[in-house]
Amino acid sequence: QRQAIDSKYWITAIEIMAFADLETTYGNLCPSWALSVGYMGVASAAVLSNWGSAWGTWKSGVSLVNTGIRHPSSVMKNVIPVVMAGVIGIYGLIIAVILAESIPKPNTDTRVNVYSIYTGMAHLCAGLCCGLSGLAAGGCIGIVGEYGVRCVGYRASNITLFPNKTESTGYSSISDQDHGGDSEDLSGSDDQNKLFVGMLIMLIFSEALALYGLIVALIVSQHSFSCGES
């Protein structure tokens, strides 16, 4: 009987030691502040992407309004930078929602946090990838859109960029109407189209920066470890 009591005592002691070691391990892998790191990733994705979207909309929108005063017919064509800047905010919204849905609540019975620091760092990395990429892309779209819309508007509104006649040699006045007959087209519409196409290509590659960050964020957000796993 005494041997049975001793064996039971040792079994209980081993279970307590195992539970203490498990609790220590989980406490190191899943600290209570790990949730803060995960939610910082959510905030980074949303705030930085919206910041870049607002930056791009502001810079290109001001130029669009200024150009629309002199040449209203070019407003709808030059609204592309504003639309592309607004899409960046959607990228941040997508990542923020995915990350927020991936953060579990603590166990209601044991009040133990199951959200690991590994998952929190992965979510923070995903949020920063999307947010900072969106911020850089938004600034690039805003600057390119600002100067691109102004230059296209200048060529379309018959504004001379060269006050001296010598400097203006080789440049013609701008007209929105095609000349009839077999006369050579000196309206400068080809230059206007080339400016617009060049601006559009730069905007597309600027938007691709945010897309790269979105793809990396989607991949990194799938990396997770839960303390409830065996």
Task: Give 151-204 pLDDT, tens digit per residue.
Answer: 776 666 555 444 555 444 444 444 444 444 444 444 455 666 777 888 889 999
Q: What average pLDDT score do residues 5-27 get?
A: 48
Inform me whether the pLDDT recorded for 23 exceeds 60.
no
Q: Cα angle at 26 between 23 and 32, to 5 degrees? A: 110
Question: Of 197, 183, 191, 204, which Cα lies nearest the Cα of 83?
Answer: 204
The residue ranking higher by pLDDT, 155 or 73, is 73
The pLDDT tens digits for 47-59 are 999 999 999 999 9
Query: How many other C-beta atoms are found inside a 10 Å radius of the C-beta of residue 31?
Result: 16
The percent of residues in the chain predicted with pLDDT above 90, rounded, is 35
pTM for this model (two decimals)? 0.71
Rounded to whole angstroms, how far apart are CA atoms 149 and 66? Answer: 9
Query: What tens digit of pLDDT does each residue of 98-116 get?
Result: 999 988 887 767 667 788 8
Return the pLDDT at 18: 45
Quote the DSSP letter at residue 104: P
